[in-house]
């Protein structure tokens, strides 16, 4: 049986992870879990990278981490646990799939416009190195690193994934008109890789124009690849198109280790109330199941989730406000009842 590492995370993390694992258990998913100590609560115990050395070893041995969201510790010079994990294990591609889900009403679903956009965000470079310093008390400087090998590996991943999924179009979002060297290099790499995929329509759109086009004609996009910061912002925009952060899954893919998690954070405003929507983490769980070849279980759970959403069952963050909402556990149980 495949064994994976699981970190429940902080805030709403344990609530949504328990809900998702209860769905996996009811579906008799043949996975073994090794729970690892990772998150802000581990950072608070004095582990500066947010995980114990045992946790790091386990994740490196197993190669797959299923994680809940983790709070970024406050304070200057303190790095995000999530960013540290992505860098430590070189998970260079962040794949985020945004799809119309029946039962999750949005302006587009009401207008009959289907959305199926996959964002591939470069996950390691850019301003996320956190290389910042004060030049004078009034001037802060941040350094932005974009490298050819780093750009090539994520762009190659995006083209290969787009080709396998039968995409029609792959678009590079960028700001190369202003950041001619950094975004210019990323764009150059994009067209270099594109030469190997003549069947895919490859084009580019300046990122501000891309945002406008995504909110007016999202159905014209298929796969979009971007640098780290721009990819992060455009991802949350796309989450809004399909109903919100509660429906935005993500996979951080590397050559040796992959991390599956929701796009959203620890939701401190609702943590501990038991009302969070577990769908984004469950959708991330589908990618994990597909990644380990458990396609039947992934389909079974996906069908039950889609049926549940279509029947109008919902947590408090979406759906018909006139209908009562379910809490996290009740929502998971409603999915299980639809197997
Ligand atoms: P957030 O995503 O936690 O919350 C934004 C808004 O969305 C909140 O109103 C929240 O209630 C709502 N929301 C998010 N997930 C939800 C869900 N599953 N169900 C219902 N509502 C949901 O963003 P934030 O407040 O900017 O960040 C809080 C913390 O999370 C920060 O410390 C941040 O660094 C961290 N964070 C972690 C990750 C990660 O672990 N990958 C990602 C983003 C943010």
Condensed to tens digits (0 to 9), the pLDDT of residues 75-91 reads 777 788 999 999 999 99
Q: Which of 55, 21, 92 is nearest to 281 (CA)?
A: 21
Q: What is the pLDDT of residue 28?
A: 98
Q: What is the pLDDT of residue 79?
A: 82
**What CATH number is given to the structural domain containing 106?**
3.40.718.10
In sequence order, what are the beta bridge partners of 3?
A: 32
Q: Which of 67, 265, 276 to mutate to test the pocket of ligand 1 (most atoms within 8 A of CB)?
A: 265
Q: What is the pLDDT of residue 186?
A: 98
Q: Is 266 touching ligand 1 by the criterion CB < 6 Å?
A: yes
Q: State the Cα–Cα distance between residues 277 and 246, nearest whole angstrom.
A: 6
The atom of ligand 1 lying closest to the CA of 80 is 34
- Of 188, 217, 247, which one is at a domain's C-terminal end? 247
**Same domain assignment for residues 26 and 76:** yes
**Same domain assignment for residues 111 and 186:** yes
Taking the centre of ligand 1 as the mean of its atom positions, its distance from the CA of residue 11, in whole angstroms, is: 9
ipTM reported for the complex, 2 dp: 0.99
Contact 182, 146 (CB under 8 A): yes
Q: What is the pLDDT of residue 129?
A: 80
Q: Give ∠ CA 47-80-237 in degrees, rounded to 5.
A: 155
**Same domain assignment for residues 49 and 158:** no
**Same domain assignment for residues 132 and 224:** yes
Residue nearest to atom 37 of ligand 1 (CA): 265
Q: What is the pLDDT of residue 75?
A: 78
Q: What is the pLDDT of residue 76?
A: 73
**Same domain assignment for residues 117 and 212:** yes
Taking residue 137's Cβ as centre, other Cβ atoms within 10 Å add up to: 6
The atom of ligand 1 lying closest to the CA of 16 is 18
Q: State the Cα–Cα distance between residues 107 and 311, nearest whole angstrom.
A: 19
Q: Is 138 touching ligand 1 by the criterion CB < 6 Å?
A: no
pTM given for the model: 0.94
- Of 247, 273, 302, which one is at a domain's C-terminal end? 247
**Same domain assignment for residues 101 and 70:** no
**Which residue range forms the structural domain that includes residue 180?**
95-247
Q: Is 246 touching ligand 1 by the criterion CB < 6 Å?
A: yes
Q: Which of 11, 69, 252 to mutate to test the pocket of ligand 1 (most atoms within 8 A of CB)?
A: 69
Q: How many domains would you assign to the chain? A: 2
Which residues of the chain, if any, have pLDDT below 50? none
Q: Which of 114, 204, 126, 104 is nearest to 158 (CA)?
A: 204
Q: Is 269 touching ligand 1 by the criterion CB < 6 Å?
A: yes
- Residue 37 CB contacts under 8 Å (≥ 6 apart), including other chains: 7, 51, 52, 54, 55
**Same domain assignment for residues 49 and 157:** no
pLDDT digits (tens, 9 = 90+) for 131-182: 899 999 999 999 999 999 999 999 999 999 999 999 999 999 999 999 999 9
Cα 189 to Cα 146, 224, 321, distances in angstroms: 11, 14, 47
**Same domain assignment for residues 191 and 298:** no
- Of 232, 247, 262, which one is at a domain's C-terminal end? 247
Q: Is 40 touching ligand 1 by the criterion CB < 6 Å?
A: no
Q: Is 15 touching ligand 1 by the criterion CB < 6 Å?
A: no
Q: Which of 264, 274, 283, 327 to mutate to test the pocket of ligand 1 (most atoms within 8 A of CB)?
A: 264
Taking the centre of ligand 1 as the mean of its atom positions, its distance from the CA of residue 265, in whole angstroms, is: 3
**Same domain assignment for residues 186 and 297:** no
**Same domain assignment for residues 109 and 229:** yes
């Amino acid at each position: 049986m495949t064994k994976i590492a699981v970190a429940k995370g902080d805030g709403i993390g344990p609530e949504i992870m328990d809900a998702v694992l209860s769905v996996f258990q009811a579906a008799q998913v043949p996975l073994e879990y090794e729970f690892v100590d990772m998150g802000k609560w581990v950072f608070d115990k004095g582990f500066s990278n947010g995980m114990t050395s045992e946790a790091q070893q386990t994740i490196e041995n197993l190669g797959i981490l299923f994680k809940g969201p983790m709070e970024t510790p406050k304070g200057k010079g303190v790095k995000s646990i999530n960013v540290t994990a992505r860098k430590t294990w070189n998970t260079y591609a962040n794949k985020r799939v945004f799809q119309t889900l029946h039962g999750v009403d949005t302006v587009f679903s009401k207008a009959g416009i289907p959305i199926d956009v996959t964002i591939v965000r470069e996950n390691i470079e850019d301003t996320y190195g956190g290389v910042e310093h004060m030049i004078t008390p009034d001037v802060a400087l941040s350094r932005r690193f974009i490298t050819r090998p780093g750009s090539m590996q994520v762009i190659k991943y995006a083209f290969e994934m787009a080709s396998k999924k039968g995409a029609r179009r792959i678009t590079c979002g960028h700001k190369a008109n202003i950041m001619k060297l950094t975004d210019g290099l990323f764009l150059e790499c994009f067209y270099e890789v594109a030469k190997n995929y003549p069947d895919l329509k490859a084009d580019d759109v300046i990122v501000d124009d891309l945002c406008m086009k995504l909110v007016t004609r999202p159905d014209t996009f298929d796969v979009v690849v971007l640098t780290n910061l721009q990819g992060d912002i455009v991802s949350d925009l796309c989450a809004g198109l399909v109903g919100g952060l509660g429906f935005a899954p993500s996979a951080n893919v590397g050559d040796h280790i992959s991390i599956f998690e929701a796009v959203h954070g620890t939701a401190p405003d609702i943590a501990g109330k038991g009302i969070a929507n577990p769908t984004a983490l469950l959708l991330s769980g589908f990618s994990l199941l597909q990644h380990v070849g458990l396609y039947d279980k992934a389909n079974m759970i996906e069908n039950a989730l889609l049926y549940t959403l279509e029947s109008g069952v919902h947590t408090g963050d979406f759906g018909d406000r006139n209908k009562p909402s379910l809490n996290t556990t009740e929502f998971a149980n409603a999915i299980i009842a639809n197997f």
